[in-house]
């Protein structure tokens, strides 16, 4: 997963390519030789990446079918206090949020409140969106909608907050990037609008829908739409040219359904396992979420509903990256085995792709450890 879809100078991006990351959770007592071997490989790759990229902190988790194999925190979550990063530390996850939004859309389809082939104009008639754009196109980034994170007013929205109507009006007035349905181009505007549709149909906030349909049923106690408790969270950093400095936190209203969530590796492993095993949406809905949009994305593979689709060693994986002010993240799952990877950093300029890919290659191509994959 090495192909960047948005400039690295952007505060909010998804990068796409081929990779995976892991970690696991050691219990009490002495580690088994297997755990020690797995841990030494993961630690070696993670520590090298920390040094090469100058990251302040990172957590890495490797799991299979929801069971942790190895989990570890590296570096510090706060450069001022030098607080060591814990495996349970919460990070913002940026665009990994999109798969949660896509799952809510599928829940509403299961309830008969919408269909993914509905026109956007049916659900948001107050804006001048072309009727040719469907929810499916928005879920798969084939709508042609301009990306609001490239608009000049984004900085003000990040710092001061913004209404959904303001963002959607600006998107509706911007020229389309291409005729709807004819190309793939990653645009955060798609999922921003989907969040508003969720709210309109349910009469509840996006955050309330997450709590009702995802957080509470799955027991995700460390996943937040609002900013998480400071004493459990990492400080996000960016490099200003002279060194690492605290990054500007995005107002939640600007990130919204496209990137506002924060979580830790434990909750994200639980989420991945629930999603692929029919505990979030129906098997039919999950199949739709993991069906290609018909276009190749930069770096190879394709895109489903809020999920990037690719293969590793000729096996299907789902994955997604995220970047938001001060943080980068990535999750990935091998679908035929349930082998899952989560990498979270408190460095806006870090590239978790290399961490994921290097660990995946080391573990999955190892005669001793490939049974994990």
What are the domain boundaries of the chain? 3-372
User: Would you state the pLDDT for residue 52?
Assistant: 96
User: Would you state the pLDDT for residue 320?
Assistant: 96
* Region 329-347 average pLDDT: 96
**32-36, 230-234, 304-308: range with lowest mean pLDDT:** 32-36
**CA–CA separation, 338 and 312 (whole Å):** 13
Contacts of 328 by beta carbon, 8 Å cutoff, 6+ apart: 94, 321, 322, 344, 345, 347, 348, 349, 350, 351, 352
**26-30, 44-48, 248-252, 357-361: range with lowest mean pLDDT:** 26-30
Query: Does residue 327 have a pLDDT over 60?
Result: yes
* Region 184-205 average pLDDT: 98
User: Would you state the pLDDT for residue 80?
Assistant: 97
Query: Does residue 3 have a pLDDT over 80?
Result: no
**CA–CA separation, 57 and 332 (whole Å):** 20
- pLDDT-derived band at 36, boundaries 50, 70, 90: low
- pLDDT-derived band at 359, boundaries 50, 70, 90: confident
The CATH superfamily holding the domain 3-372 is: DD-peptidase/beta-lactamase superfamily (3.40.710.10)
Contacts of 28 by beta carbon, 8 Å cutoff, 6+ apart: none
- pLDDT-derived band at 35, boundaries 50, 70, 90: low
**Residue in this structure with the two tokens 């400039």, named with its chain if needed:** 7
User: Would you state the pLDDT for residue 360?
Assistant: 87
Query: Does residue 8 have a pLDDT over 70?
Result: no
Let me know how long the chain is: 373
Work out the percent of the chain whose per-residue pLDDT is above 70.
Answer: 90
Average pLDDT, the chain: 91
Candidates 184, 178, 183, 193; CA nearest to 123 is: 193
C-alpha triplet 217, 161, 260: angle, nearest 5° = 30
Query: Does residue 38 have a pLDDT over 50?
Result: yes
pLDDT, tens digit (0-9, with 9 covering 90-100), for 62-94: 999 999 999 999 999 999 999 999 999 999 999
pLDDT, tens digit (0-9, with 9 covering 90-100), for 201-252: 999 999 999 999 999 999 999 999 999 999 999 999 999 999 999 999 999 9
Query: Does residue 21 have a pLDDT over 60?
Result: no
Candidates 241, 250, 265; CA nearest to 58 is: 265
Contacts of 147 by beta carbon, 8 Å cutoff, 6+ apart: 6, 185, 186, 187, 188, 189
Query: Does residue 12 have a pLDDT over 90?
Result: no
């Amino acid at each position: 997963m090495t192909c960047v879809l948005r400039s690295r100078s952007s505060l909010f991006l998804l990068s796409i390519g081929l990779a995976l990351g892991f970690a696991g959770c050691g219990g009490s007592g002495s580690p088994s030789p297997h755990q020690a071997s797995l841990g030494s490989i993961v630690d070696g790759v993670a520590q090298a990446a920390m040094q090469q990229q100058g990251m302040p902190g990172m957590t890495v988790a490797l799991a299979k079918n929801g069971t942790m194999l190895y989990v570890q925190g590296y570096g510090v979550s706060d450069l001022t206090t030098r607080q060591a990063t814990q495996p349970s530390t919460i990070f913002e996850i940026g665009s990994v949020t999109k798969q949660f939004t896509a799952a809510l859309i599928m829940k509403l389809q299961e309830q008969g409140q919408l269909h993914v082939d509905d026109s956007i104009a049916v659900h948001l008639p107050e804006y001048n969106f072309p009727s040719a754009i469907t929810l499916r196109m928005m879920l798969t980034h084939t709508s042609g909608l301009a990306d609001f994170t490239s608009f000049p007013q984004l900085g003000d929205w990040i710092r001061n907050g913004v209404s959904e109507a303001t963002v959607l009006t600006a998107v509706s007035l911007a020229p389309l990037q291409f005729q709807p349905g004819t190309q793939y181009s990653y645009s955060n505007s798609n999922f921003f609008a989907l969040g508003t549709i969720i709210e309109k149909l349910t009469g509840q906030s996006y955050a309330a829908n997450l709590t009702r349909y995802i957080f509470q049923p799955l027991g995700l106690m460390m996943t937040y739409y609002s900013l998480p408790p400071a004493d459990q969270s990492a400080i996000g950093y960016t490099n200003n040219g002279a060194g690492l400095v605290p990054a500007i936190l995005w107002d939640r209203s600007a990130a919204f359904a496209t990137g506002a969530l924060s979580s830790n590796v434990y909750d994200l492993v639980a989420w991945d396992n629930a999603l692929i095993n029919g505990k979030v949406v129906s098997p039919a809905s999950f199949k739709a979420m993991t069906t290609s949009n018909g276009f190749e994305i930069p770096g190879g593979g394709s895109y489903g509903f809020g999920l990037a689709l690719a293969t590793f060693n000729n096996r299907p994986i789902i994955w997604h990256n995220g970047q938001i002010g001060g943080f980068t993240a990535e999750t990935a799952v091998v679908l035929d085995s349930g082998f899952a990877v989560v990498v979270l950093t408190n460095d806006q300029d870090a590239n978790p792709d290399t961490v994921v890919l290097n660990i995946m290659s080391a573990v999955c191509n190892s005669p001793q450890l490939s049974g994990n994959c």
